[in-house]
Structure 1
Amino acid sequence: MDLDFVSRHAGRPAAALTRRDVARALLAVPSGVALVAMPDLRRALMGAANPLSLPFWESAKAMLSSIESGAATVGEVQRWLEATGSEPILLTPGYFVWPEEDERGPVAAEMYDLMVAFLEERIATGEIDPDALAREEQEERRAYEDLQERWLNSPLPDGRVPGHAVSDEQDEELFAAWDEEEAFALSELRRIVAQLPRRPELPEADLERAAERLREILGVPGYPGNVLRACAGLDDRPLPDDDADLWTAVAAGIAGPISDLADVEDPEEFSDLDAELGHEDTVLANLCAIQHADWLAAVAALARLGPGVLASPERIARLIAESEDIDVEGAEGDEEDLATTEALFLPVVFLWGYLGAVDEDDVLTPLGWWGLPRALERAWSPAE
């Protein structure tokens, strides 16, 4: 490791290298190599009329020695890197988190580089004192954090707010990944249903009875009607007149909740951040936590086995673990994973009971056999 390496790593000539550039280069090689190379590197920078400062070199030696001995934590290394004065803080006081370098999209990469340039300008004007940061002066650190927080929440000349732009890009990437996963799960579901040796027929009498009961439940305040209405997005619109449409909409909502619970009368209920979630909120959280793959494995297994099969939460967890329709590393025999899956499907099976998809003994009914694959297809189909 030498000055040429640092310049290539930073993409700048020696005379323009910053403390951040040198620190990142030192961290890019084994700590022992960096410690050995540091004296020569320091002399080379002095020869290039860019000596940096004594506090920086002292902090670098201390950090590299701590890394070499195995005592340094990831957080300590990050904080030292941030103390160079032009490294964006990983987690700001306002809880903004930069994506990892290999996970930044074009917008995040652009904003990150703009932040670095902004901080370098503040060092040049004296607004940021890297030596004070290296000495871990708390007042300087707070000012440094506040400066970055303000930049992230201030409009650029083109009107974009950096923090919002990065968050929006991350949301778009997340939604795109979710849509891709959902589309794949839907195609697999359709393939599996098409290959069933026997296709379920609509049990009309069972559907009529289930829909009549469902309309009663949805018309009554409280659980489970409030959760089922929220799942199906029926809080602000009338119930479908068609029984099959109503049943499928509610069953689809269990697999893919459309909305949250309607606002409660007492808004102070949500003001206590330390308060535990209510039962209904916990149920919705569990439903939202179930992955596409688990839904696919569960419903595919039930569709193949047909009515009369046990569909208890424990049995569903086993069916998912043993499924050949999805890849689940180490799930079979992992009691902790099985217990987690069982807990997530506990409210599912309970709500299926109100739909008549399972009976009082958690056994799959002809109505559930007919309707659950259709409900899952509806939940995963793009909205028209």
Structure 2
Amino acid sequence: MIRTALIVSTLLLLPGFTAQDQSSRSGSLETELVIEKSFNVKAGEKLAIETADAEISVQTSSGISEATVEVYLSGRDMERARRYFESMNFDVRQSSVGISVTSENPPRRLRDWYERGQARIRVQILIPEVFNIDIKTSDGDVALDDVTGITSVRSSDGDLRLSSISGSMILLQSSDGDIIGEKLTGKEIRVNTSDGDILLDSATGESVDIRTSDGNIVVENISGRSEASTSDGDILIGDASGLSIALRSSDGDIAVKRLMSENADISTSDGEVYVEHSESNLNATTGDGDIVVAVIEAREFTARAGDGNITIRVPTGVGADLNLRGERVNIASSHDFNGTLAKRTASGSINGGGPVFRITSSEGTVLISN
């Protein structure tokens, strides 16, 4: 069964980190503002961040010419937290190309203490909306506001939460975390996580590549020469358009609401394939699961199932040539069929003929319905 428990409303951007007063208490953690700097900048400059252990929030605003950087330190034992922070040698500076924020890895003995939740570092930045972004963090979440520019965000262990990103190149990567975004628009878009879900409102580009090794992929709108793949999870797509799309899962279901790409290739080794509306040249394959496709406009169509049923819904009056094989083959009487129909095979045409439907199930039923 298609697991519809993944709610597309999760695509809405989660709020970023909230700025706090210079000194406050949150539960048992005391918080201090330890670095505060401002710089005059120009649109199109670059923000470069490379930190070891920090949560990062980047907010943007149009029409401003100043960048601000604030670093907050929270801890249960503030004296020890300050020693931890000082060991990282945080550096915030301006160069000819923009703003840089860097830190070093703390000693192992202090890092163990930090990872037990004894301290927290947050970097909060405000920059112009038109800015190039290069963020690397070893351990921490990243929140990024609307931005236009070349964007690269990488976290070894943390979630990425993004608003609308536009630029010639967009790279979003987490080794162990979820990636949640609103609108991605660029020439080349790469979204990758090794262990986490990817949830996007839209991804539009000449080339779009979305991958997770262990997680689900949910994209409301995807357009371009696109590919989405997961080794262990479901893929749910709202509207798919553009030159081509390839959707692949090793162990999960694949569902598409509106498939309008010129060419589409959908495959899962162990799961179901469901397309609610197809206007594409389509190749659909599953090793162990059902395939259900509603054809709105007849195009070349190949479907193969190893151990599952295949149901193709064709509107009355839409023509196609048929080459069907299965444990049992049926064609709805509402279609004008001309050809040879046997228990396990069918060859001929419906509604005057048209593009070829090659449908095969090794151990399941093949049905042409309406």
Larger relative contact order (Cα-Cα within 8 Å, sequence gap ≥ 6): 1
TM-score normalised over the length of structure 1? 0.24
More helix by share: 1
TM-score of the pair, normalised by structure 2? 0.24
Larger Rg: 1 or 2? 1
